[in-house]
Amino acid sequence: MTEGWTDKRRITILNFLVNNSKGTIFLKSIDASAISKTANKICKMLDDIVEEIGEENVVQIVTDNAANYKATDELLMKKRKTLYWTPCATHCIDLMLEDFEKKVPVHQNTIPKGRKITTYIY
């Protein structure tokens, strides 16, 4: 699984996690600020991770569903026939909630309140 975020200083960090029958573990983080976010560059990065873990140990890759990741994962699945890509459910839900907030008036107050509660809990 890969998860990324950009901080206020525009530093992009990509976290790589591995899931197996015993649970999820953190593999590593990469400062991807200097890496262009094109499908080819991301594909190379993910391919290197698959190589590090061993292709025989990787069945599925989970990323967000941005266009560059969708293109990346299609490239990677063409190269490595045993891999399957799945978009991150959390990212999909987040995008849906953003649409609700923008387009459904009743949610324009509810969703920001939910964010405040979530931030407080974290």
pLDDT (tens digit per residue) in 19-74? 888 899 999 998 888 776 788 888 888 899 999 999 999 989 888 888 888 888 88
> How many structural domains is the chain composed of?
1
Residue 67 domain-assigned (yes or no)? yes
The per-residue pLDDT of the chain, averaged, comes to 86
How buried is residue 5: exposed, middle or buried, by Cβ count under 10 Å (0-12/13-18/19+)?
exposed
| Contact (Cβ atoms closer than 8 angstroms) between residue 54 and residue 76 | no
Residue 13 domain-assigned (yes or no)? yes
Residue 52 domain-assigned (yes or no)? yes
Tell me what percent of the chain is helix, strand and coil, each rounded to the nearest 5. 50, 25, 25
Residue 117 domain-assigned (yes or no)? no
Which residue range is the domain that position 37 belongs to?
A: 2-87
Residue 6 domain-assigned (yes or no)? yes
Residue 95 domain-assigned (yes or no)? no
Residue 99 domain-assigned (yes or no)? no
**Most distant CA atoms of the chain, gap in Å:** 49
